[in-house]
Amino acid sequence: MFTGLVMSLGEVSKIDLRDESAVITITSSTIASQVKIGDSIAVNGVCLTATSVSQDSFTADVMVQTLRMSSLGGLGKSSQVNLELAAKVSDRLGGHIVQGHVDGVGKVALRKAGDKWEQMDITVPAHLMKYIQNQGSICIDGVSLTVGSLDDEKNQITLWLIPETLAKTNLSTKKIDDQVNIEVDVLAKYVERLAERKVLDNE
């Protein structure tokens, strides 16, 4: 489990693409110094497992399903990625409950700077909009954010990014039409599943 509070920015130093998988090496001395083989790490919001660790980098296998369901397939050498280690039971849950299981890929539709914030509009896959609530939580590239507003007709959400978020994550580098990983609030999916089962049980 993660919180969506990015701990470090990493850099892709190598990608070995295979037929149905990839091996990705990420440089980050901050994270590598705290990781051991088998640990879970959220990379742009995708939960991966460290398969090897050096002094300043770690390696993880990325399966074909993950490449298809997330934006990791579009990473290249020198790409910046948001990194977070799995939460400890004793940690404060400063963001929200994030599983690292990407629900879909969205696109940046708008960036607009303000005095103390920046507006970012994201186009979301239509089937995910039902899980998103105004002022609710959403995870974008592994960053826990609050939905400022939503537009169901355009399948878009508006986010307000503070300077701290821009300084500590790769969201500051996103351009129009760039892809981002989206994980909606898991509680909404549980509620939907319970409602579906209740209907079936009553038939």
Q: Among the listed ranges 29-38, 45-54, 66-75, 100-109, which one has the minimum average pLDDT value?
A: 66-75
Provide the pLDDT for residue 48.
Answer: 95
Average the pLDDT over each of 68-82, 89-103, 112-126, 155-169 and give the range with the smallest value. Answer: 89-103
* Cα separation, 25 vs 177, whole angstroms: 25
In this structure, the strands spanning 8-17 and 80-85 are antiparallel
pLDDT of residue 68: 85
User: Sorting pLDDT into bands at 50, 70 and 90, what band is 19?
Assistant: confident
**Predicted confidence (pLDDT) per residue in 20-64, tens digit:** 789 999 999 999 999 999 999 999 999 999 999 999 999 999 988
What is the four-CA torsion angle of 98, 99, 104, 106, rounded to 10 degrees? 30
- At residue 120, the pLDDT reads 97
The per-residue pLDDT for 195 is: 87
Computed over its alpha carbons, how large is the radius of gyration of the chain?
Answer: 17
| CATH code linked to domain 8-85 | 2.40.30.20
Q: Where are the domains of the chain?
A: 8-85, 104-192
User: pLDDT for 117-175, tens place per residue?
Assistant: 899 999 999 999 999 999 999 999 999 999 999 999 999 999 999 999 999 999 999 99
Q: Are 85 and 31 in contact (CB under 8 A)?
A: yes
Please report the pLDDT score of residue 192 as a whole number.
85
Please name the residue that has the structure tokens 């708008």. 110
Residue 99 pLDDT more than 80? yes
DSSP track, 64-107: HHHHHHSGGGG--TT-EEEEEEPPPTTS---S--B-S---EEEE
Distances (CA, A) of 154 to 6, 45, 151: 29, 24, 6
Q: How far apart are the C-alpha atoms of 171 and 4, rounded to whole Å? A: 13
The yes-or-no answer to whether 8-85 and 104-192 have a common fold is yes
Average pLDDT of 175-186?
Answer: 95
Residue 82 has pLDDT above 70, yes or no: yes
> What local confidence, expressed as pLDDT, does residue 92 receive?
67
- The pLDDT assigned to 81 comes to 97
Question: Is it true that domain 104-192 has CATH number 2.40.30.20?
Answer: yes
Please report the pLDDT score of residue 161 as a whole number.
94
The answer to whether the CB of 135 falls within 8 A of the CB of 147 is: yes
pTM over 0.75: yes
